[in-house]
Amino acid sequence: MSYGQGVVVILLLFVALGLPIFKFAKPIEQWEYRIESPSDISLETDLAALGSEGWELVFARRASSGDEYARTVRYEMIFKRPKR
């Protein structure tokens, strides 16, 4: 075997051994986000609709606004899903 053939064989071995490693390397997943504030009345329906569209809830808090006589209570929610 000549020197050139030896180099080719070694390169082929590196490629053959390296290919299985690349199968496990995942690309960086990118996300899209959505902020929603459904009312108490429509909360369950809105969550079901967002879930069926692939949105995953990542943060939620119940927030109120207004004074003690005209207080509005809503949920502030952040959803994410993989970019398509």
pLDDT tens-digit map of 9-50:
776 666 666 656 566 667 788 999 999 998 878 889 999 999
In the prediction, which pLDDT does 33 show? 97
Q: Which pairs with CB-CB distance under 8 Å and at least 24 residues apart come from 49-53?
A: 50/79, 53/81
Report the length, in residues, of the chain. 84
Q: Which CATH architecture has domain 3-82?
A: 2-Layer Sandwich (3.30)
pLDDT digits (tens, 9 = 90+) for 51-84: 999 999 999 998 777 777 777 777 899 999 999 8
CA distances from 47 to 10, 15, 22, 50 (A): 57, 48, 38, 5
The Cα–Cα gap between 75 and 5 comes to 69
